[in-house]
Amino acid sequence: MAELVPDYFSAGWRTRALACPCGWEGDSRGMAMELHDQVTDYACPQCGNLLLIVTHPTLAQVRQAAAEGQAEAIEQLAIVEEARRHFPSGAEGRDG
Ligand SMILES: [Zn+2]
């Protein structure tokens, strides 16, 4: 059964080793990543079994994590704000 990570910026999910029933064992960097609209799936590279589901952060979560000094959040926030400057009507209003 896949493990759900509700908070993208929570520590440790990237490097936490998970075991697949097929015998494969490893962390997210060794898994097959699939990007979706709301989540990113990580599946076993050996049998395709879904192991990890990471929900994408909302803009509020990115801001919060950036305020707490998380380097990745600060980077993402910069990208978002850069995009907003170029496309002011674009990503507005979807997740606050
Ligand atoms: Zn497997």
Q: What pTM value is reported for the model? A: 0.76
What pLDDT does 1 receive?
75
> 24 CA distance to ligand 1 centroid (A)?
5
Sign of the torsion formed by the C-alpha atoms of 66, 71, 73 and 76: positive
Do 68 and 92 fall into the same domain?
Answer: yes
> 25 CA distance to ligand 1 centroid (A)?
8
Do 33 and 45 fall into the same domain?
Answer: yes
Do 30 and 41 fall into the same domain?
Answer: yes
> 19 CA distance to ligand 1 centroid (A)?
8
Do 49 and 61 fall into the same domain?
Answer: no
Mean pLDDT of the chain: 90
| Mean pLDDT, residues 61-89 | 92
Do 48 and 74 fall into the same domain?
Answer: no
Do 9 and 50 fall into the same domain?
Answer: yes
| Mean pLDDT, residues 16-39 | 96
Do 51 and 64 fall into the same domain?
Answer: no
Domain that holds residue 44: 3-55
CB distance 82 to 33 below 8 Å:
no
> By CB neighbour count within 10 A (0-12 exposed, 13-18 middle, 19+ buried), where does 76 fall?
buried
> 48 CA distance to ligand 1 centroid (A)?
6
